[in-house]
Amino acid sequence: MQPLADVRVLAIEQFGAGPWGTLQLADLGADVIKIEDPASRGDVGRYVPPFAEGEDSLFFETFNRNKRSISLDLRHPEARSVFEDLVRGSDVVYSNLRGDQPAKLRLTYDDLKDVNPRIVCCSLSGFGMTGPRAAQGGYDYMMQGLAGWMSLTGDPAGPPTKSGLSLVDLSGGYASAIAVLAGLWRARRDGTGCDCDVSLLETAQHELMYVGTWAASRGYTPPRRRNSAHPSIMPFQNFETADGWIVVACPKERFWTLLCDAIERPELAEEFPTFADRDRRRDELSPILDEVFHSRTSGEWLEALSRAGVPCSPVNDVPAALEEARVVEYEHPRLGAVRQVASPLRLSGPEPPVQPGPARGEHTEQVLAEVCGYAPERIRALAESGVFGVDSRGDGDAEASAAT
């Protein structure tokens, strides 16, 4: 049995951050049930290019493997009773809406505790559920700007730059998954659920780490360093070689001594003996090291440095990086072969199976029968009332017409 096989999550989620958070739970065996809005044709991630076909995309697959999907219009007058029946049979209600929406849609613990006193209600939003920005939408790029990340990234002579990946979305997803697990532990221990209020902005601010501590404690303004150099440890950065780029890391004094021997410049270890010396005199040291590393190829330097015990690596492009990655592969009914990087959450035991992301509304009847105990007649009546939308199976054409 997988670690979270006895956990059921109702996920009112779309796009990136929220689905990434519940993906971690699904990969550990949780039954994650996506509640998709028929009026908007479900999760917007289904339609993200470039590799999209109908209501399926490789973007959506990345965030939604191992999940189930039901179609439910939460604005429909009959939907609330259906939703509460689902809550009775679940452990978590998870959403990544604007911060003011969980209260408006009655998705908070106060709204649901009488239905299920052990329910854990997690909201992942741009700015949190309280405060002056709760009603504002927030996205990864905005947070990288607001939290100061862009001011730290890029060449000193260039513009502020975002990370190449949506790291605030991914970090917010991870943070929300941790919050959910903590809430679940407490609910099972004490019998009482809770709200989890996680914001992308606070996650990004928290990840300023030691730079944030320096700035808050000493008024430090971190500079941008050329070649992605560490703010205070030298050398700990990229270097251009005769045919590419490598990363060289000397986060301990002994690595600096080993590096000087490996590049056949032992005198540098005596001239720049400490972290403080190298940081203070980096304008003198950098040109020396630049010239040294540019004299040989990346392969030659990586071999020499590795042999000497100096931490180093190539700067790969994505295809080269994937050559060393653990990859899972499965067949999708519309997209064909799908290959994804496997979860890093590896617990002892057999590898869990990987299932394709669900079609929109694919599991509506199955979930309502299994979780709520609804008979086929009850499900048919709900379908006829429109609670699942015009087209709950994801064909798209009738649904699109109704939505417009």
Alpha-carbon span 143 to 133, nearest angstrom: 13
Whether omega for the bond prior to residue 350 falls within 30 degrees of 0, making it cis, is: no
Closest to 56 measured CA to CA, from 41, 35, 77, 34:
41
Rounded to the nearest 10 degrees, the angle between the axes of helix 376-385 and helix 364-372 is: 130
Alpha-carbon span 43 to 186, nearest angstrom: 31
- Which residues are known to be catalytic? 230
Q: What are phi and psi of 162, to 5 degrees?
A: -85, 165
Alpha-carbon span 403 to 389, nearest angstrom: 10
User: Exposed (0-12), middle (13-18) or buried (19+): which is 220, by Cβ within 10 Å?
Assistant: middle
Strands 245-249 and 312-314, bridge-based pairing: antiparallel
Alpha-carbon span 33 to 269, nearest angstrom: 58
How many H helices and E strands in the chain?
19, 13
With vertex at residue 344, the alpha carbon angle to CA 92 and CA 32, rounded to the nearest 5 degrees, is: 25
Alpha-carbon span 99 to 93, nearest angstrom: 15
Closest to 76 measured CA to CA, from 45, 122, 37, 117:
37
Closest to 273 measured CA to CA, from 225, 226, 234:
234
Alpha-carbon span 70 to 393, nearest angstrom: 9
Question: Can you tell me which residue has the tokens 């470039």?
Answer: 50
Alpha-carbon span 240 to 267, nearest angstrom: 22
